[in-house]
Amino acid sequence: MVYYTCRYAPAELFAGFGEKMERLDPNPKNFECSDSCAHPNLCGFSKAVIEEVNSRNITEIILTDCCDAMRRTYDVLKARPDMKFIYLLPLPHKNGPAEIKLFGQELKELAEAYGHYSGRRFDVQKAADAYRKAQDEISPKPDRPYVSLSGAHGGEMLMEQLKSAMGDVPVVDDTCTGNRELMEKAGSADSFFDWYASALLNMTPCMRMLAAQTLEGANRTPGPDPSSRLLGTVFHTIKFCDYYSFRYMDEKDASPVPLVKIETDTTQQSEGQLKTRLDAFREELGLNQRKIKMQKKEGAVYTAGIDSGSASTDAVVMDENKKILGRAIVPTGAGAANTAQKALEEALAQAGLKEEDLTAMVSTGYGRETIGVDSTSVTEITCHAKGANFLHPEARTVVDIGGQDSKVIRIDENGSVLNFVMNDKCAAGTGRFLEMQARALEMTMPQMSQKGLEWKKDVEISSMCTVFAESEVVSLVAQNVDTADIIHGLNKSVASKTAALVGRIGGKPEFIMTGGVAQNQGVVKCLEEKLGAPIFVSGDAQVCGAIGAALIALESVLSQRQQDRA
pLDDT in tens, 237-289: 887 776 666 677 777 777 788 888 888 888 776 666 788 888 889 988 888 66
Q: Which residues contact 558 (CB under 8 A, 6 or more apart)?
A: 301, 320
pLDDT confidence of residue 336: 62
| Distance, CA of 304 to CA of 360 (rounded, Å) | 7
C-alpha dist (Å) from residue 308 to 269, 272, 436, 537, 541? 21, 14, 21, 21, 15
The class (CATH top level) of 302-392+545-565 is: alpha beta
Q: Which residues contact 119 (CB under 8 A, 6 or more apart)?
A: none
- Which one, of 171, 161, 550, lies nearest residue 378 by Cα? 550
Average pLDDT of every residue of the chain: 85
| Domain ranges within the chain, ordered by starting residue | 2-136, 146-285, 302-392+545-565, 397-537
pLDDT tens readout for residues 423-471: 755 555 666 677 777 777 888 888 888 888 888 888 877 665 656 666 7
Give the confidence band of 491 by pLDDT, cuts at 50, 70, 90: confident
Sign of CA dihedral 27, 29, 35, 39: positive
pLDDT exceeds 70 at position 218: no
3-state DSSP helix/strand/coil % of the chain, to nearest 5: 45, 15, 40
Would you call 175 exposed, middle or buried from its count of C-beta atoms within 10 A (0-12, 13-18, 19+)? buried
pLDDT tens readout for residues 403-436: 677 889 999 999 999 888 887 555 556 666 777 7
CB 318 within 8 A of CB 305: yes
Fold matches, 146-285 and 302-392+545-565: no
pLDDT confidence of residue 554: 94
pLDDT confidence of residue 315: 95
- Which one, of 170, 201, 168, lies nearest residue 183 by Cα? 201
Mean pLDDT in residue range 495-510:
90
Please list the residues that pair with 329 across neighbouring strands.
Answer: 314
The CATH number for 146-285, chosen from 3.40.50.11900, 3.40.50.2300, 1.10.3720.10, 3.90.1300.10, is: 3.40.50.11900
| Distance, CA of 76 to CA of 73 (rounded, Å) | 5
The CATH number for 2-136, chosen from 3.40.50.10210, 3.40.50.720, 3.40.50.12780, 3.40.50.11890, is: 3.40.50.11890
Mean pLDDT in residue range 529-548:
95
Indicate the pTM of the whole model. Answer: 0.78
Indicate the DSSP class of residue 119: -
pLDDT tens readout for residues 310-364: 778 999 999 999 999 999 999 876 666 678 889 999 999 999 999 999 999 999 9
| Distance, CA of 104 to CA of 99 (rounded, Å) | 8
The class (CATH top level) of 397-537 is: alpha beta
